[in-house]
Structure 1
């Protein structure tokens, strides 16, 4: 169980930063404007949140019964995912030079 939790946290950290590290929309389509807008990055972040949540459900199902969760659980997980995305956001918008 400890390995699954650690694996899921590492996966969530990586997935939360992916939208800010790659310039293609959903890692496939090159944007017509030349650079991906913040709205696309936010949409990718939301989709990846649900993908990581699905992986978490699969891991929990393999360990035993899946526990029913209330809205507070999902609010905390969404907040944690946004916090995990902070390094990618800083790299993309605050740290990198505009010309680079």
Structure 2
């Protein structure tokens, strides 16, 4: 797993967990690291104690966009879409169909 890249780090483990959940729900496999190293701050460099989210290199660009949108909101409103799995009509804010779990493809 050392070939993975870090896409987000922050001192607040709840925010890091939220980012991890956003990536996972968008179909981007991710890994949480350093969730329990906060107690080592002072003995270890602060940057090495922050909770982090890591992804495979081929997912890094999409993950960074999703992280930015999770923290700042989408750059522009996305149009509504029709689920390719079941035909359900969904608002643009949704990445995954609530009815069948299919991920948005655009």
Q: TM-score, normalised by structure 1?
A: 0.29
When normalised by structure 2's length, the TM-score is 0.28
Determine which structure has greater relative contact order: mean sequence separation of CA pairs < 8 Å that are 6+ residues apart, divided by chain length.
Answer: 1
